[in-house]
Structures are given as structure tokens and as C-alpha cells.
Structure 1
């Protein structure tokens, strides 16, 4: 097993050579954090220290250090003033929606926020929710006020069991089709969903696509939706024209890891065109290995032409919609048929296309591509893709779908 110091040293080396952030931030203030690491320190303290170091880079979502042995806490919150409102919770957490967390290990919410300020990267209170779950796992006891005004101290546990929810679903409302995508990770399941509702999709007057909390995946997963969301008879690329290219870091480590992962997909019975594409990608990484940053000249959505219907498309987003969710919202925002409702997306595509390195039970995730619009002050970080109709979050959202109600009455 690697020691704590060895793991941190390797992470710093990756930040120097392989992470797409190296141009902008190098290794950050690594020496300050390295001096605090010892091989006999508590596992949670080590995890906290490394995560805090990575948070200093200000890169959300695509720069992570996690512990396989430390499971999720099983509930999510939103902050307003000095209260964390529970919006979702597994049954065995002891929490319910509408619970108000007013203290954690004796700290008020504002005191704890100041204590862990680095983790929040300057985000506004409305955009902090996705970060609180990562912070609270380091603490033990919640002071909670229940909906009936009773007060209780509840221990945080990490092995809670949640009920599985559908990642992809559709619902028909008169002449409106509602589509829900919790992520863009499972291409087969998404294609099956679209096949099931194809007849409705072809005939509906209004389409609502809900990508709130979308955890990302592959941009190619939402390509089949594009023809329904852009004007009839016109190319998507006439509207969606990225101003700046993406550059990819072809470091030796990145290329070797990409080639190894790509070869895994070549095993088994796969279509010929998929085999050809994978072999091309392997050849590309072999040829460019060690060349550093090179521009990616692939044109997204090339050749796709818009259809007649639906007449209007509404996209629902929020601050937890990231990665391919960001990309989806950004592409759709270019169409005159589309209105985006809710709150700005997470905004984490400045640095993307992640690689994963395992250190025993720890996992380090870092980005290998960089959007060159960063150089012109046009990055999405901490801003996200803006909405056309902003619906601020409030405790009234708990138990009520304010955004969907707005879209159905639009």
C-alpha cells in the first residue's frame, strides 16, 4: 500500500504534468498542504486535507479525491441564511424533507461555512447545495428542527440505503411531452426511452426536457434530441458554433491510460463502425503521446438538421446540472425554439474529459481537456449556462415542483 505522503506526491505530479489545469494553476499551493501530511494521520483527516488542497484550484466536479470506503451520507440540502433545508433524504438517515439543520457538531451553519470556506470556492448560497454533501461527511451530529417544531440531535451515517429512482423517464401532458434525464451516462437506455416515446415526440406541440441534477456522461447521448430542438430544415451547426476550440493534454500518462481504456471496449461483439472509431482513437493517442496540449478539431453535431415539431422546447436546469448536462444546456440555448427555465447550470466544462487514477481505496479524478475560451475570460466556472427565465430556490420548492408547473403553464 502507498503511504499518505506517496499518494499526495503522486497527485501533485499529476497536477504538474497531466491535469488540464496545469497551464493555469501548476501545482497550486502544494507545499503548504504537503507540510501538513503525515503517514500516521487519521484517514478522514488525510482525505479532508487532500480535498481542501484540490478545492483551492476552484475546479468543481472534474477534480476530485474520494475514498471508496467512505460512502455517501444519504441526504441533500440547500442553504438559506443560517439554515440547511433537507430536500431529499434516505429513510434510514433519520431525516425527512423539510427538516431544518441549524447546527453541526455544535457549530452554527455560518460558523461551519467559515470553517470550511475553501471547499465552497466562492459560490453563492443558492449554488452551495452540491458542496454541502461533501463537507458534512467529515462531521458527526446534526441538530435538527423537524416540521412539527420538535428538536433532535441526529448522527450522520455513511452506509444508508436509498430507493432506486428512474434515471430516464417520460410523461405525456395533453399536447406536451415531458422527458427526464438524471444523467447522460447510459446511451442504450436513453435510446430505448426515445424509441418508446418517438411517436409522441414526433407529434407533440411542446417538449419539456428536465436535466436538473444531471450528473453528466457523454455528449453523444443527447445528440438524438437535437433534430427536435432546432428549426425545421436548418443545420444545428448554423446555430451552435463554438467560438474557441477545446485543447487536449496528450501527456504520456493520459495517452497510456486512454489507450488502455479504449482497448477494453474492443473486447466482445461490437459494431464494425465502433471498432473503426476506437482504433482511430487508439492510433491518435499513440501518435500524439507526450506532445502536450493539442487542439481538438472534431465538429459536434455535424450534419444534423432540425425537424418541424415540436413548436416550443423548454429546458429545466439547476445548479446541480453539470458536465454533459452543461453541454446540453449550452447547445440548446443556441436554438430559437428553446427557452431555458430554472437556475444556471453547474458550469464545469472549462476543464473536462476526466481520467481516473486509483490509489488503493482512494480514487483521484482529474480533467485532461481545456476549453480555450478561458483565455478570453469567457469560461463557465461558477456561473454556468444562464437561463432565460430565472426561478430562485426557496424552501417552498420542497415537495412542490415549481419549475415544472411553470413550464406546463407556459
Structure 2
């Protein structure tokens, strides 16, 4: 299980969605999509056991496709992949899933940018202002005693245009935010020094232009909100913040743990903050396991559907590797897949639905560990929760995680109608059907309700009282 890559459906898409018509009429695009999913989606047989329901649904889409233009076809294709309720299965273009019809923030704000900028010079409200975040310049205006609206001033994405409403803030500390595909995320926000706006559940940080506070102070807080850190909170408790397990952060995580080994060993209590962690690779947390786990970890395995598409993807990945990198493992997998086309293959050493890993535990480690998780904790970060909960000294606090772990190792592929693309997993977990996680999530040991504003403070009190 260590080497499996879990691609998350949670990331905030930043690729521009160009208005490019498909090379296929809608009926043909739908037929090719259906054929690809029926032949190569690992969850197809499980999720279409009610054949009458599925066949009727498919026929209805076929009938509707005859009169759909390109934009209408996009929603139809999305309706098909949505049928399977799998976060790792979606259809889109240019690396971006098609938007949900009728998004909450489809309206624009009527505003004059110059007048808005002038009004900021005299506003007594510390939240109002012009903010920046990757790919966007945002205006934040108070439109009601209890409500603020965040609107686009400049955008690097064609999916969002000036004056589009991007998010709303309520005076009670909650936000509603539209992702790139205009699907809605909700959560709590915090403001720091009147210069930083932090949308916690989606880990979005906006920086206010020309703040009237100490810039070094802002930079320090910004690094903390956006980055990876390990610090002492009290005499007994430390916190490790890991916002992502993606491959590009492997070295950062490794260096962080190496630099703070003494703190990791000497802390009586440890809080691991995984809120908003979309996953990535299970390699990211291997160095941490000897400090938080028991001697044995029981892993569930997965089985891969052997398809030519998956074989081609592995061969492409193999070509991208450095010439000095051994490809023996990949070569063996490719040979096994070729010999079992159309069947499921278990690549684990035992070939069984589960296996037990024996760890060499660290001689010194925290006595109590809390992991903070929320709806933004997904994919391989959820597998970390799955195995960490086996340790007697670990408790998970927060809300149920995202729920994207039953089908994984997803790839973005062509299905014959450019620019349409399909994002589809290649394996199914062998804990199914007994222990499903998709759309359910990993459940916390202690649920933190909306009245708890500061989860870290709550965790410290929980550990030290």
C-alpha cells in the first residue's frame, strides 16, 4: 500500500477552462464515455447491480443527447459520471471537471471598481478591502450589516470573470465559497491583523493590499497558515501541521521531521493537523508512523482492473523516470496486467485482502496524539487516519473526512472526443463492501460541532486537562 498514489478530487482547480467545442456530436461523446466507464471503471459492476435502474438511466441520457448542444452536452456527461457517486470519477476538459449546473454564485455584483477603491480610503470596516490569492485579485465589500461579498477584480482563469461573486462572509464567522467548478464549500473564517483572511476548511488564504500593520508579523502568520510547521504550544503539547501529502512536498515533510526530531521525541502530547489535506502519496507520512503507531499496522489491500489504458499510463510514467531509477517493480506490474487483461489483479505480496506491517518503533515518542481532520481531509490523508486509529494512543478529533478512498490511483485520460477528458480510478479497495468510505468519510472519535471555533485550543485542553 505504501507506493500507491491517491489523487484527490478536492484540489482547487486553477487551469483555465477554454470554451472549445467537442470534436464529437453529443450522442457520440456520450456513447464513448459510457463505453469507457463500463469497460474500465473498477466500481462499475458493484454500482450497477440494479441493472433495470442503470439501463433506464442510460437510455434517458441517450434520448436527451440527441438535442444537446456542446454546453448542454457537458452537463449531460457530468450527469452520467455523477451517477456513480465516486469523488475520483469525473468528466471535464483541460484538466477541470465540468461545473455543477445552477451554482450558487452564478450572479455578478454591480459595482464600479474605481468608486470601490476610493471608498476603501475612508471605510471604518477592517475587513473591507482588496485582497490577493493565487490566480485572483478579490474585492471584499460589506453589503449588509451581517454579510460581506467577495467579488473578482482580476482572474487568471477564464472560468471566473470580473464582478463574479466568488464567496460570501457572514458576521458570525462562517463563509460560503465557490470552487473553480462553482461547486460550493462552507466553513469558518478568521481574520488576522486586518490583513489576512483565512478560510479554514478549504485552506484558502487571502492577503489584503497595503495593510497598516507590521509586515514581518503578517509574513510570519502567512507562512504558518499556508505552510508546513512543527512548533511547541505548551510545556506538554506540540503541533505538527501537514496541509498536503502531494509528491512535491515529500522533501519538505522529511526535512521538517528531521529538523524537529528532538521536539517530536520530547513532546508528551502531539497534535497532527490534517485539516484541508487533500492527500497525495502514502510515502509522505512513513517517517511519522514509528512515533504514533503500535508495533503492528493492519493494512487493507486493493485490486487493480487490468486495462490497456492503465498499462499505457504505466509505460508513460516509466519513460518519465530518471534513467538511473530502477523500473523492475513497474515492469513486473505491466507484465502481470498484460497477462490478465479484463480481470482484477492484487499486487500485494500476500495477494490477500489484508496484511500486517511490523514497525520498529521510535525509542521515544508522544504518549497521547490527536489528529485534527475535517471534510477537506481526503484520499491518502484519509488512509493515514485509517491506520493511525489502530494505535491505542491516537484519537481523531473533528468532523467526518471527505470520503474518497474506496476507488483510487486515478488518471486523467482521453476517451476519444477531445477536448473532453475522463478522470477515472484504476483500483477498488478490498475492504469493500464491508467498510465503505466514499461519500461517508472516516468518522472522528470526538466530533467537534460548530460551536467550537478554535480546534487547536480545544485539542490542547482535551490533552492536558
When the two structures are superposed, what TM-score results if normalisation uses the length of structure 2?
0.62
* Structure index of larger Rg: 2
Match of 1:58 among 68, 85, 97: 85
Match of 1:278 among 306, 318, 330: 330
Matched, 1:7 2:35: no
Q: Which residue of 1 aligns with 2:16?
A: none
Q: Which residue of 2 aligns with 1:371?
A: 429
Deviation at 1:184, TM superposition (A): 0.9
Q: How does 1:76-95 map to 2 (within 5 A)?
A: 90=133, 92-95=137-140
Q: How does 1:7-406 map to 2 (within 5 A)?
A: 7-26=29-48, 28=54, 29-37=57-65, 41-43=69-71, 45-59=72-86, 61-68=87-94, 90=133, 92-95=137-140, 99=147, 133=179, 136=182, 166-174=226-234, 175-186=236-247, 187-231=250-294, 235-237=295-297, 240-242=298-300, 245-265=301-321, 267-270=322-325, 274-288=326-340, 290-298=341-349, 302-307=357-362, 308-358=364-414, 360-376=418-434, 378-393=435-450, 397=453, 402-406=454-458
Cα RMSD, aligned residues only = 3.7
1:262–1:282 Cα contact (<8 Å) kept? no
Runs of 5+ unmatched residues, structure 1: 79-87, 102-128, 139-146, 148-159
Deviation at 1:188, TM superposition (A): 2.4
Aligned-partner Cα distance in 2 for 1:131–1:302: 41
The 1:293–1:227 alpha-carbon spacing in structure 2 relative to 1, beyond 3 Å, is same
2:396–2:445 Cα contact (<8 Å) kept? yes
The 1:365–1:70 alpha-carbon spacing in structure 2 relative to 1, beyond 3 Å, is closer
Aligned-partner Cα distance in 2 for 1:287–1:318: 41
Post-superposition Cα deviations, 1:316-342, rounded to whole Å, max 9, x if no partner, equal: 001121110110111111100101000
Aligned-partner Cα distance in 2 for 1:324–1:292: 25
SS of the residue 2:346 aligns to: strand
Post-superposition Cα deviations, 1:113-140, rounded to whole Å, max 9, x if no partner, equal: xxxxxxxxxxxxxxxx9996366369xx
Deviation at 1:389, TM superposition (A): 0.9
Post-superposition Cα deviations, 1:96-125, rounded to whole Å, max 9, x if no partner, equal: 898468xxxxxxxxxxxxxxxxxxxxxxxx
Deviation at 1:292, TM superposition (A): 1.5
When the two structures are superposed, what TM-score results if normalisation uses the length of structure 1?
0.69
Aligned-partner Cα distance in 2 for 1:180–1:96: 32
Aligned-partner Cα distance in 2 for 1:89–1:346: 27
Deviation at 1:207, TM superposition (A): 1.4
The alignment covers a number of residue pairs equal to 331
1:18–1:254 Cα contact (<8 Å) kept? no
Runs of 5+ unmatched residues, structure 2: 1-21, 105-130, 150-174, 185-190, 192-203, 208-221
Deviation at 1:259, TM superposition (A): 2.5
SS of the residue 1:92 aligns to: strand
2:96–2:181 Cα contact (<8 Å) kept? no
Q: Which residue of 2 aligns with 1:123?
A: none
The 1:9–1:72 alpha-carbon spacing in structure 2 relative to 1, beyond 3 Å, is closer
2:74–2:98 Cα contact (<8 Å) kept? no
Post-superposition Cα deviations, 1:277-321, rounded to whole Å, max 9, x if no partner, equal: 333334443443x14112342477834222231111110001121
Q: Which residue of 2 aligns with 1:111?
A: none
SS of the residue 2:91 aligns to: strand
The 1:169–1:250 alpha-carbon spacing in structure 2 relative to 1, beyond 3 Å, is same
SS of the residue 2:357 aligns to: coil
Aligned-partner Cα distance in 2 for 1:268–1:337: 43
Q: Counting helix residues as a fraction of each chain, which structure ranks higher?
A: 1
